[in-house]
Amino acid sequence: MPISRRTLALAAPALACALTLTACGSGGDSGGGSSASGKIEGDISFQTWNLRAGFKDYFEGLVKEFEKQNPGVKVKWLDQPAENYADKLSADAGAGTLPDVVNLSPDLAYPLAKAGVLMNMDKEPATSKFKGEYTPEGWKGTAMPGLDGSYAFPWYLNTGPLFYNKDLFKKAGLDPEKPPKTFDDLFTDANKMAKESGGKIATLASTPAIEDMGRYGVKLMNADSTEFTYNEPKGVEFLTKYKELYDSGGLDAQALTNTPEKSGQKFLEQKVAMNPGSALDLSNFKKNAPSLYKNLGITDAPNNNGKPNMYVMGLAVNNQSKHKAAAIAFAHFVTNKQNQESFGHKVAVFPSTKGSLEEPYWTKEDGTDEGRVRVASAKMLKGAVNYTPVVLSDEMKTILKNEVAKALQGKKSPKQALDEAVAQSNKLLKQN
């Protein structure tokens, strides 16, 4: 039951191949300028990812306030569309024109960090001193495997609630106030619901993704993230259970081809008992499916680790910036407690600064659909982790999805399917 990876930046392809950074060098402290003097001065550029349309006034206000506090700095705000954002990062890095401060997700940061283009926040004294201002989950969320450090100030976090239909649970003889918390609970409840409904009601509408494996407890990669390992026995066990679920009717018959929109529609039509969603879905249910709305439960996706899934966005600093002190100061300014909380009040994301999620806005419902989802989601972020490996490309995700489909259809055994997915993905990993 994968949840959309990004809320604001829309889906963009991951960097699919290694960067050729002939113009960028190998990193280090070669920025010169304000880095050597420590003075916060100079002209810097700040790039966001598909945010201008919705938040133009907010970011222009941030820039104006920072420049007021730091009269020696001028900030040029750039905003790139979601489409081909990864390609734009790659091209700019290769040409030595990457902006001083860049908004990116961990998977997009990894190739740049590996190539020495991004500043290691743990190694640079000017950035590591701020580590205590952020939640451990947020700071760890920008860590790069095998590179010994985090490579961006954590910015906004997100997690997705799982909606469930209490009425369908009750009709199947399940406790509507006790949704499944572990995968064992999920498989048991889903099989019972399929049996009690005569195969008419499935519990889930989509095939599992790699983050679902992570929540099940599968070891996804080796220690230094140089090889995928999700074909281990626990991974085979996981896919075998999903195959059994598919055969019993606990997984929707169209799960192999369902888009998130189709899955959401099946949930709205009360043909599926559980589905990830957002506050926007609640408003839709209230208008178009009032009987569903009044019986709607909100929970976290089942997991065997006690740690929900989390998505993180960060602000990275170009290691080759000519004005590092200014770039660091601005990246920290945008991601400080006050500004993160302000941004979190404008859009359904969550601040990564310590203490923010203890504020009433994220702990007390206000009677609105948005408040109901916001409070439920905020509770899930404590101890949450990003299960999706940062080296997993979109091509690798497609490979896994296709092999999972073959296993569910019985064209391959779960072990054969996962072995093939791992072999293909590891081959791509070595090529990169």
Same domain, 152 and 191: no
**Domain tally, the chain:** 2
Closest CA to 318 of 309, 310, 328: 328
Query: How far apart, in whole angstroms, are the C-alpha atoms of residue 384 and residue 405?
Result: 28
Amino acid 4: pLDDT? 39
Domain that holds residue 43: 34-159+310-380
CA 373 to chain centre: 17
Q: Is the pTM of this model over 0.75?
A: yes
128/205 same-domain check = no
Q: Among 106, 98, 129, 131, which residue's Cα sits nearest to residue 27?
A: 98
| Residues listed for the chain | 432
**Are 148 and 40 contained in the same domain?**
yes
| pLDDT of amino acid 432 | 73
Q: What would the 3-class secondary structure string for 259-318 be?
A: CHHHHHHHHHCCCECEEECCHHHHHHHHHHCHHHHCCEEEECCCCCCCCCECEEEEEEEE
| CA 406 – CA 413 distance, rounded (Å) | 8
Give the Å distances, CA to CA, from 189 to 165, 196, 201, 299: 13, 10, 12, 15
CA distance 107 to 48: 16
Looking at residue 1, what is its pLDDT?
53
Please give the average pLDDT of every successive group of 10 residues along the chain, which has 432 residues. Answer: 41 30 32 54 96 94 98 96 90 95 94 94 96 95 91 93 95 96 97 95 96 96 93 98 97 94 94 88 89 94 91 96 97 98 92 97 92 90 90 93 98 98 96 80
Same-domain pairing of 286 and 187: yes
Q: Tell me if 26 is assigned to some domain.
A: no
Alpha carbon distance 284, 268 (integer Å): 9
Do 120 and 257 fall within a single domain? no
Return the structure tokens found at 330: 């601005």
204 and 119 within one domain: no
Would you say residue 97 lies in a domain? yes
- Please check whether residue 314 is in contact with residue 154, taking contact to mean a CB–CB distance below 8 angstroms: yes
Same-domain status, 178 and 291: yes
